[in-house]
Structure 1
């Protein structure tokens, strides 16, 4: 068991994947973390968001670099164990939906949470206190429509997630004031409840200057491009602090 900061370990793991360096060491350090010790070290939502986002992206990119054919069956890819954390084998679905999204079902538009007796105790222990919809603009599953991958830190994750979200929305939201209509990312439909429903989506779009204050345009949703596009890293590495 290591005494290193888990968020730093997660960023080192991701950066090793990005640079094509050996990942066995960082991966082993994550696997060797103590479960309860990890929960105590990730003592704030910023720490949890940074850690689990880094682990998700590192696991995805490592798996696809090692065997691109895994992407051919995405359902299997998302549910297969790709990384171990604190002795627990985890899939991408485990990290995204059970931990980061607090066990809200991935097929229920963000409105239906898995009942307590059916939830993973591990996921409940490590989940953020609140869902943060900005993670949808930070997690990269290898698809063309996914956002760029960056290494997040506990100190700067709020600013980093704002930057990632703003950049993604600037590219993927089209607002037509004449038609009073907006074309928005598909994740806002798939996970509508994460954003607080339709009213929450409007607030979110205003927050990032994609629609004017007071505007309530009709919403349509971009098709998601599942074309294989691994290694989509942000232009500058965000080194661990």
Structure 2
């Protein structure tokens, strides 16, 4: 084999290791393999979390290419927990957008046949459903903040962030997502003596309590103004309408 070909192959193998986001400038990774996803998000996600699905449709080839990249580079044993978590959060969010595009226009993700059960997403040699990624992979990592990072394409979901999660940035990104969601008055109504919160806290209550203390204790970790211990907790209706941009 010619020497220059061998060197080229070595460079290709080193890049295909996937987690490469050590150089971060102003919160934006300069070498992350997830930058293709971040570029799409910055072009098609508004500050309020609304998604321009028509714009995404025009760029569907770029989205498909990113998902193909993830499919060909599944997590390896030597990856850090942070790299694995970033990979699967990005995969979940990109897979959800792809699912909406396959059925667009649609009023709600729940109008789609088995949106969280059907195995649509390729990862290496296996196919996963959105439910597999959420319940069998991300939740098992033991960090309840993932519930504020994954987006179910609905109004009451946590906002789809206009950035990709990265190995080096995920700790601050998860904290940002948790604080943003919990303090969002459109998704939770919280006063010092009462908390009316998203049903996410009901559906996954065991995840939040598993980190120690009550649900109120968990909320107080991120609230700008803490709620009194022993405060009553109520759960708000969940709006499953599509988080499309307003006409």
Please tell me whether residue 218 in structure 1 is matched to residue 232 in structure 2. Answer: yes
Structure 1 residues 60-104: Cα deviation after superposition (integer angstroms, max 9, x where no partner): 0122123224835356111122321122211110100111112xx
Whether 1:12 aligns to 2:36 is yes
> What is the CA distance between 1:10 and its match in structure 2?
4.2
Which of 96, 112, 135 is the aligned partner of 1:97? 135
After superposition, give the CA deviation of every residue in 1:183-221 in whole Å (9 maximum; x if it has no partner).
112111101100016933122111113553762201101
Partner of 2:79: 42
Instruction: Provide the alpha-carbon RMSD of the alignment.
Output: 2.8
Give the counterpart of 2:217 among 182, 189, 203. 203
Q: Distance in 2 between matches of 1:43 and 1:51?
A: 11
TM-score, normalised by the number of residues in structure 2: 0.70
In structure 2, the partner of 1:110 is: none
Quick one: distance in 1 between partners of 2:77 and 2:158?
30
What is the DSSP-based 3-state SS (H/G/I as helix, E as strand, rest coil) of the residue aligned with 2:153?
Answer: coil
Matched, 1:133 2:148: no
3-state secondary structure, aligned to 2:155:
coil
Instruction: Determine which structure has the larger helix proportion and give its number.
Output: 1
3-state DSSP of counterpart to 1:227: coil
| Residues 199, 75 of structure 1: alpha-carbon distance in 2 compared, 3 angstrom cutoff | farther
Contact 2:103 2:112 in 1 (8 A): no
Q: Distance in 1 between matches of 2:90 and 2:38?
A: 6
Partner of 2:8: none
Q: Does 1:23 align with 2:36?
A: no
Distance 1:17 1:144 in 2: 17
Out of 91, 100, 114, which is 1:64 matched to? 100
Q: What TM-score results when the alignment is normalised by the length of structure 1?
A: 0.72
Choose 1 or 2 for highest CA Rg: 2
